[in-house]
Amino acid sequence: MVAVRPRRLAWRLAEVVEVVPETPRTKSLVLEVPGWEGHKAGQHVDVRLTAEDGYQAQRSYSIASAPEDERLVLTVDRLDDGEVSPYLTDVLMAGDKLELRGPIGGYFTWEAKDGGPLLLVGGGSGVVPLMAMIRHRAVVSSGVPARLLYSSRSYEEIIYRKELENLAARDSLLEVIHTLTRSRPEGWSGYDRRIDADMLAEVAWPPDKSPLAFVCGPTPLVEAVATALVGLGHDPARVKTERFGATGG
């Protein structure tokens, strides 16, 4: 047997091309990454910050851009007590450099050839890797039916709201369903509670359509959604999850 020693994921110095505010708490970092070898929708990168005296801190962030996009985009949610995210959202500017390595994670990924129907369920910034899938699906003009069920605290905190609206408006096979858990604008007619089994029964395809589900968000949401999907009769092997707790990022 020939032992193949895989190449190390090297740290790369990316250049920040643009910092785009998405919501009051989230920003997208548009990066030029020399030598980037591409990624699959759903993967993440490790970001490493280094202080002048050599102190370092690392965290993981999901990739928001499609593999086909020219530039790598990370969308970062600002955690008030975080060490890394406030730097990325408040301090980092166009022209700065940012050290990262990746792509990482080979399970929570989707390519058009993986088929569907594609059921995406996200909470808060958990929508980021799902957005990479939605963008990839749009870029390659995939005919795989897709539904995004997306839980946000308020209308203002919906990340990518306009872009999702535009994508759904010109693609009858893409449906975006929002639920707002804390506050709703006047006249809101959508869901107004946390995602539960009843909501999933209405929104998800029935189990006999065998949807491929990706669920990403805070742990309680992911636990609730994944458990409800299995309870509705979906095959656990078709439910892929990615969770983030309060990890102080």
Which positions touch other proteins (CB under 8 A)?
A: 5-13, 46, 48-52, 54-60, 83, 87, 91, 96-99, 104-108, 219, 222-223, 226-227, 229-230, 236-237, 239-241, 243-248
CA distance 228 to 169: 29
Tell me the closest approach of the beta carbon of residue 197 to other proteins, in angstroms: 13
Tell me the closest approach of the beta carbon of residue 49 to other proteins, in angstroms: 4
Residue nearer to other proteins on the CB measure, 18 or 99: 99
Residue nearer to other proteins on the CB measure, 41 or 167: 41
Residue nearer to other proteins on the CB measure, 93 or 187: 93
CA distance 101 to 94: 19
Tell me the closest approach of the beta carbon of residue 214 to other proteins, in angstroms: 11
Q: Are 22 and 159 in contact (CB under 8 A)?
A: yes
Tell me the closest approach of the beta carbon of residue 137 to other proteins, in angstroms: 22
Residue nearer to other proteins on the CB measure, 104 or 169: 104
Residue nearer to other proteins on the CB measure, 176 or 242: 242
Tell me the closest approach of the beta carbon of residue 83 to other proteins, in angstroms: 4
CA distances from residue 24 to 8, 10, 141, 247 in whole angstroms, order as listed: 37, 33, 31, 20
The amino acid that residue 154 corresponds to is S
Residue nearer to other proteins on the CB measure, 103 or 145: 103
Residue nearer to other proteins on the CB measure, 74 or 168: 74
Tell me the closest approach of the beta carbon of residue 243 to other proteins, in angstroms: 5
Tell me the closest approach of the beta carbon of residue 192 to other proteins, in angstroms: 26
Write a three-state SS string for the chain: CCCCCCCCCCCEEEEEEEEEECCCCEEEEEEECCCCCCCCECCEEEEEEECCCCCEEEEEEEECCCCCCCCEEEEEECCCCCCCHHHHHHHCCCCCEEEEEEEECCCCCECHHHCCCEEEEEEHHHHHHHHHHHHHHHHCCCCCCEEEEEEECCHHHCCCHHHHHHHHHCCCCEEEEEEECCCCCCCCCCECCCCCHHHHHHHCCCHHHCCEEEEEEEHHHHHHHHHHHHHCCCCHHHEEEEEECCCCC
